[in-house]
Structure 1
Amino acid sequence: MLAVCGLAIGFASLVGRSARAARVMSSRNNLRQVMLGIDNYAAQYNQLPPHTLFDLNGKPAHSWRTLVTPYLAAVDQLYRWDESWDGPYNMRLARGLDVHIDAPPLNEFGEPLIKTMGPYDGPIDYAWPFRTAESDGKSDFHVRYFAIVGNETAWPDDHNITYDDIGDGVTNTIMLAESHLLDAFWSQPIDLRFDQMTFTINDPKGRGISSPRKLGPLVAFADGTVLHLNPEAPQDLVRALLTANGGETIERSQLVRDGWLR
């Protein structure tokens, strides 16, 4: 009887580990999907997307996530560009609530400001590619993947760049990172600012890269590679990986061999 109980416990433990591994893999795939969307955007516009679009008063109005979403999957882009991300219509969209599009608004050329591929059949969870598959107790409609923004990074404030402008190399520059110290809706123009963030992983004293996962937070490099960043990674290494033209000598393959990237 004891042997049977022990076998059952061992099997349950194996199933639990397998389920956790599957969720981690889903989280990695989500981040890969986002990077693919960025690639597709860059292929169409010959430049990487801006991290924020501003209104006429200089107020942050739209996020890069709303720009790349149409390139992620064959879903309707119901976002309204004639109001800010936190306007009444877009806020309902961000919260995963139903919206009404009986009379789509038109731009100055008479073209629809929102695009549908067919009859509206209910709300869409736009946030899913931008979050992990592992629940952290937060609302499903909050994102967990953020751009690292600022003029030192691949997401500068005052201009758009191409992959060729990343002097440190696309294999050595992190564009997106996981964070559970920052809350944002899918459409909310909030990201990790290089000049304000902490470079200590899981630092409770400031906004930075973080994850409750023992493997460490997920990060996406500019070449599309997604890896886990060791929570013990030194600050100077983290900082170097986030700069686009810092001139640091980094070899990602060596960092993998040394265990800083997994």
Structure 2
Amino acid sequence: MASGSAGRVKFRLGTIAYVFALLAAAMATFGPVAGIILGGLILAGWYDVVSGRRGVGPLALVGTLGFTALVLLPPFIANASNAARRNDCLSNLKQILLGLSNYESANGAFPPAYVADAEGKPMHSWRVLILPYMEQKQLYDQYDFDEPWDGPNNRKLWDQIPYFYSCKGCERCRDLGGEPFGKMPGNASNYVAVVGDATAWPEGKQVKWSDLADGSSQTLLILEHSGITKPWTAPVDLTMDEAIEQLTHNDAHGHVSVDESLIAATFDGSWRMVGFCDAHVMDLPAGLSEEAARALLTIAGGESLDNDPESWLGERAAPRLVKVIRYERVYGLLAFVGLAIWPGVRRWRRA
């Protein structure tokens, strides 16, 4: 009696361990929801066989759903998530442009690129100056303008980066360990100004609407960038030459697009979102001609651009794509397949 009881307990514990192992492998491979569904269907199918019913229909359903989840479901979810991340970044850019417009309406000019100390050293970024115009007055009031951006008080705000300064594509890239975009810290801004005498952000001066001789609809105000490594409060942006480099080269740090499959992820930063002085936004491909890039960045250069962005392109090269193999998914998939067929292997060996 004792021996039989011990055998039944061992069997039950082994079954419970198998169930948890299969579900864990399924969730690690396909995600929590899809993993539980797929693992549950496989367990139901094996229960059908072990209980003696041997129903062909449930097993066929399990196999069909398993194949669908394995091949189709992860890419579909990933591509939908990528589109959602892109829309979030466009929304961020529009909100920043609205904040800059509200600042201009209240002060008669756009904010300076930075506020400098008596010696001309940059102290405070425009990203801090526009906070009250973006429903962030409480955060703005915590900032101390009597000390630099990296002073003891202002350091406390580094990790309180407003959501509209972060692109979710970069966040996903960090989660997956993609290089080089994954090196960007989570408290750095993805949206920068272009600082230079001929731009909308001249050093030591504020630009008014009347200064936009080239037209507000053809003058860049904000550029998306995935290469800044300092916190969002730092008065760090791009120079004119750096911005031209970003706009004319395919492997630059633009909007991070993440295309995911079940076991791999590909990162592309060759497109960038830009915002204009009239508050409209646009997706620009990398590889603009230098003439077009300079025309977009200057406020009174006298350049003329037509309304077809395709004509702005220069000599284009293939974009640099960074691919990462998701080894945790590979190992999870191997474990899942092994566990899924294990009951059948045991039955075959016993037979």
Is TM-score (shorter-chain normalized) higher than 0.5? yes
Indicate which of 164, 183, 200 corresponds to 1:154. Answer: 200
Structure-2 separation of matches of 1:184 and 1:204: 24
Amino acid in structure 1 at the alignment position of 2:204: D
Q: Which residue of 1 aligns with 2:165?
A: 130
- Residue aligning to 1:15: 77
- Whether the 8 Å contact between 1:144 and 1:183 is mirrored in structure 2 is no
State the aligned residue count.
227
1:41 aligns to what? 103
Contact 2:193 2:223 in 1 (8 A): yes
Task: Give, in whole Å, the separation in 1 of the partners of 2:216 and 2:311.
Answer: 20
Structure 2 runs not aligned, ≥5 long: 1-59, 175-183, 258-267, 314-351
Task: Note if contact 1:203-1:210 (Cα within 8 Å) is conserved in structure 2.
Answer: no
Residue in structure 1 matched with residue 284 of structure 2 by the alignment: 229
Q: Considering fraction of residues, name the structure with more helix.
A: 2
Report whether the alignment pairs 1:191 with 2:245. no
The alpha-carbon deviation at position 70 of structure 1 amounts to 1.5
What are the residue-to-residue correspondences of 1:155-234 with 2, within 5 Å? Answer: 155-195=201-241, 197-201=243-247, 203=249, 210-213=254-257, 214=268, 216-234=271-289
- The answer to whether the aligner puts 1:87 opposite 2:131 as a matched pair is no
1:216 counterpart SS class: strand
Structure-1 residue corresponding to 2:44: none
8 Å Cα contact 1:240-1:246 kept in structure 2 = yes
Match of 2:304 in 1: 249
CA contact (8 A) 1:145 1:179 kept: yes
State the TM-score, normalized to the length of structure 2: 0.59
> Aligned Cα RMSD in Å?
2.4
Q: Which has the larger radius of gyration?
A: 2
Determine helix, strand or coil for the equivalent of 1:229: strand
Q: Is this contact kept in 2: 1:230–1:259, CA < 8 A?
A: no
How many Å apart are 1:55 and its aligned residue?
Answer: 0.9
CA distance in 2, matches of 1:3, 1:201: 47
Gaps of 5+ in 1: 97-124
1:141 to 179, 182, 187: 187
Any conservation in 2 of the 1:202–1:211 contact (CA below 8 Å)?
A: no
Question: Is the CA contact 2:116–2:122 (under 8 Å) kept in the aligned structure 1?
Answer: yes
Instruction: State the identity as a percent.
Output: 28
TM-score normalized by structure 1? 0.78
